[in-house]
Structure 1
Amino acid sequence: MKIIKITLLFLAISMLTNCASSYKNIEPQSISYISKKESGGIILEYKYDLLDKKYAKKEVKRGVKLVAVKITNNSDKDIVFGRDVKLAYVNEDAIYIMDRDKVYKSLKQSPASYLWYLLLSPMSFYTNETNSYGMQETTSSFPVGLIIGPGLTAGNMIAAGNANKKFKTELLDYTINGTVIKKGETIIGLIGIKTHSFDALMLKIE
């Protein structure tokens, strides 16, 4: 019984340090773009390192980088991002821009992972008293796990679901692949690329 109690205690501590993360909106139109590159009158500004908490950990684990890009068309014609101009590394290696849904599936939290909190359900608080023989005996117990387990499960699943919803909405709002950029116009978007590095980027004009 003592071993079970200790195991459940360590399990509880581990789970409490692995709660669902909130999602902080990136708002790419408001961030400061440090990196900048110009090609043929078309200016690319971009920024890595946009996510935090569990989403940032998923970037490392999945080898996916979310990048905010700002493209200003100072050329003399309209262009289509992904057709007339494409994103590339400065060594001119092509970049595969991931589908928005694949980016989301790669980086989102998994609400189902918090079902493990239900393992806390068997936990109980026991009240012990010394009997007339000087021995400790259990006089009462309270099934605290039946409150904590389901409560933490539901709370974290809801929190993860809400955070994922905000993340997915922002990816949808800032999808730019295939977007027409008129001359003199600037567009801002979020793209996902398959990489573990933070290599410098440029625009390749087709």
Structure 2
Amino acid sequence: MRKPFTQVAAVLSAAVLLSGCAGGYHAIQPERITSYQPAGPAGAAVDFSYRYSALLTNGANKKYVKKERKRGYQIVAVQLRNNTANEFNFSRDLELTFGDRPIQPVSSMQASQDLKQGVAIYLLYVLLNFNVGTYTTVNGQITEDNRTFIPTGPFIAGGNMLGASAANKNMRNELARYDLTNKVLQPGETVYGIVALRETNVAPLKLTLRNSAATAPATAPAPAVVPNASGQ
């Protein structure tokens, strides 16, 4: 009895097993978001707006969204503008409120550690090798074997591990770049950030000045004095 083991069967098997391969990271790029939700009254010392589901802004980011939900996070893109003549330190002078209670964002380092996708798990693909060809059996014993062993496993495992590591690095670098911890807002400056909140649900966000933060409205420069025609 002749039993073919064709390359088509091998490809189909691989397609099933690779359904859980490494995922990439699509950058949030908060400065390019155009659909922020404003929060706070007009004319506030610091204008504040935000957007939940930031990981879905420019792509699926399935691996990271899954970790976000599993670990109880909300990744939020934010926009701030300092409307005063004073500088503010985000951590010292401003207070973020989630619903009706103050909340402290998680550091970018901790958030990236909690949200990263696994890398070592893809070592299991080392076992994903194939024999391509045909063989003949007689009474259950192989009498002729024309199959060729193809060691695909190490390549699949290595590719997934490299892909997962690169995606984790891109995610970690972006969270660090837009981390607002101790970020100083200069007078008139607009700043974009990404904040990681340990919350399973969503609620309105608000940003207010702490009591110790003094404010002064931004002042326009005095107009230049133009001499009259007589030169006086």
TM range (shorter): 0.7 to 0.9
Q: Which moved more, 1:30-39 or 1:182-191?
A: 30-39
Are positions 1:124 and 2:131 aligned together?
yes
Are positions 1:102 and 2:104 aligned together?
no
Q: Deviations over 1:8-35 (max 9, x none)?
A: 9998555310011111111111112331
Counterpart of 1:84 in structure 2 is 93
Compute the displacement of 1:163 (Å): 1.1
Alignment equivalent of 1:189, drawn from 188, 193, 204? 193
Alignment equivalent of 2:156, drawn from 152, 157, 171? 152
Identical residues among aligned pairs (%): 31
SS at the partner of 1:102?
A: helix
User: Highest CA radius of gyration, 1 or 2?
Assistant: 2
Conserved in 1, the CA contact under 8 Å of 2:107 and 2:181?
A: no
C-alpha RMSD over aligned residues = 2.6
Q: How many residues align?
A: 193
State the distance in 1 between where 2:52 and 2:144 align: 58
Structure 1: unaligned runs, 5 residues or longer = 1-7
TM-score by length of 1: 0.83
State the distance in 1 between where 2:159 and 2:137 align: 39
Segments of 4+ in structure 1 off by > 4 A? Answer: 8-14, 135-138
- CA gap of 1:127–1:34, structure 2 versus 1, over 3 A, is same
TM-score by length of 2: 0.74
Are positions 1:63 and 2:89 aligned together?
no
State the distance in 2 between where 1:14 and 1:98 align: 37
Q: Deviations over 1:24-80 (max 9, x none)?
A: 111111112331112642111111112221111110111112111111111342211
Counterpart of 1:74 in structure 2 is 83
Compute the displacement of 1:183 (Å): 2.2
Conserved in 1, the CA contact under 8 Å of 2:68 and 2:115?
A: yes
Structure 2: unaligned runs, 5 residues or longer = 1-9, 56-60, 211-232
Counterpart of 2:4 in structure 1 is none
Counterpart of 2:24 in structure 1 is 22
- CA gap of 1:64–1:10, structure 2 versus 1, over 3 A, is farther
State the distance in 2 between where 1:11 and 1:125 align: 12
State the distance in 2 between where 1:106 and 1:192 align: 11
Instruction: Map 1:130-141 to 2 at 5 A.
Output: 137-141=143-147
State the distance in 2 between where 1:57 and 1:117 align: 22
Compute the displacement of 1:107 (Å): 0.9
State the distance in 1 between where 2:39 and 2:54 align: 19
- CA gap of 1:130–1:110, structure 2 versus 1, over 3 A, is closer
State the distance in 2 between where 1:62 and 1:138 align: 53
SS at the partner of 1:21?
A: coil
AA aligned to 1:64 is: Y
State the distance in 2 between where 1:98 and 1:81 align: 14
